[in-house]
Chain A
Amino acid sequence: MKRSQFVPSISEARAIEILDAYGADPRKWPEPERAPLETLLATSPALQAIRQRAADLDASLDQWQPETRLDTDALLAALPTRADHNDHWMARFLDRLFEPAFGWQQITAAIVPLTIGLAWGLSTTAPPDDWSEVELSLLNLPVEVLSDD
């Protein structure tokens, strides 16, 4: 089944406003109003005349294409140095963080074996049956301390 396309309508007054403000080129019209304006234009000779008047002015405007070569070398030379850069404290922190001089290699070299060791220890040690023995061994207390005799 073919789905019918709904094109919202536009008043003739609004169509004139658009042509007078943006000219004859549909690419310059407000996007939501392009299709309804095209539809209305197709049926209105009066609007077509207004569009032609707008197109004549557009043709004059199109002639003005000044040569504005940008001297990019001069521009780049005029750009400030890193020291002038007024960036956010977080951006500076991230920059510092990812600088090679920050010492990530040394930190990584220390953390990786430590993590492997901890993981190994935790995975291979079974939980004790009697926690008092563990406490005694950790505190290095003599067995008599705990006895009531």
Chain B
Amino acid sequence: MHDETLIRQVSRGNREALSTLALRHGPALKQFAYRLLMSHQLAEEVAQETLIRAWREAARYDPNRSRLSTWLHQIAHNLAVDLLRKQRREQLAGELSPDDPATAVTAESIVGDEENNKALTDAIAGLQERHRTALVLTYYQSLNNREVAEIMGLSVRALESLLVRARQQLRRALEDSP
């Protein structure tokens, strides 16, 4: 079933259509959230909340304005950025313990199957929020530059500047890593 038909059915309260939508777009949304937040728990929460909002706000989706995946990424992006900012505020205030899931975005939390890529994940974790978002959306999420610019509320030129700086910083960090 085409995405537009699916979201129309979701807007009419069809739970089965929402399940199909969750299975089709959920994994990509979780990947995106994970790459921003670097926490499986927070990424799962963002993916779930994105789909819940899609369920509630499906009637607002305009297929003439954007692809469904762009719209969903926009919702996930807003949620993830809110979490990152909240986490930064709390870290500044010293309110979080190291075990709190909201501290997970620090490079130390990247464990397990990604240990081999630690230099890379450390470097990505060290990027500023907007640089990391631009890189993740453009490089990993199969979105084109106009879609990424729309999600981030930027011009394409501004997006390209972020990408250039993100890749330069990554390259330097990888060169400096042992």
Question: Which residues of A are interface residues toward B (Cβ below 8 A)?
Answer: 17, 20-23, 28, 30-31, 53-54, 57, 60-61, 63-64, 66-72, 74-76, 78-80, 82, 84-88, 91, 94-95
Contacts and interface: CB of A to CB of B under 8 A. Distances in A.
Contacts of A69: 27
Given A72-B22, A78-B48, A17 B113 contact: no
Contacts of B35: 64, 66
B113 A66 contact: yes
B15 A20 contact: no
A72 B26 contact: yes
Given A28-B138, A63-B120, A72-B22, 11 more contacts: A30-B156, A54-B167, A61-B170, A63-B117, A66-B114, A70-B27, A84-B55, A85-B13, A87-B11, A87-B12, A91-B13
Contact of B55 (A54, A64, A79, A95): A79
B102 interface: no
Contact of B114 (A23, A31, A61, A64): A64
A85 B22 CA distance: 16
Contacts of B12: 87, 91, 94-95
A63 B12 CA distance: 41
Contacts of B31: 66, 68
Contact of A20 (B19, B120, B168): B168
Q: Across the A-B interface, give the 5 residue pairs with the lowest CB-CB distance, nearest first.
A: A88-B59, A21-B163, A21-B160, A85-B13, A86-B56
A37 to B, nearest CB: 14
A80 B102 CA distance: 25
Interface string B142-178: 0011000000000010001001100110110010000
A28 B12 CA distance: 36
Interface of B: 11-13, 15, 18-19, 22-23, 26-27, 30-31, 34-35, 40, 43-44, 47-48, 51-52, 55-59, 113-114, 116-117, 120-121, 124, 138-140, 144-145, 156, 160, 163-164, 167-168, 170-171, 174
5 contacts: A31-B144, A63-B116, A70-B27, A74-B48, A91-B12
B3 to A, nearest CB: 17
Nearest to A54: B167
Contact of B13 (A68, A72, A95): A95
A68 B55 contact: no
B80 to A, nearest CB: 13
Given A57-B171, A70-B44, A70-B47, A64 B121 contact: yes
Describe A's contact surface by its main secondary structure.
Answer: helix
Contacts of A86: 56-57, 59
A87 B19 contact: no
B120 A91 contact: no
B163 A75 contact: no
B11 to A, nearest CB: 5
B174 A87 contact: no
B43 A68 contact: yes
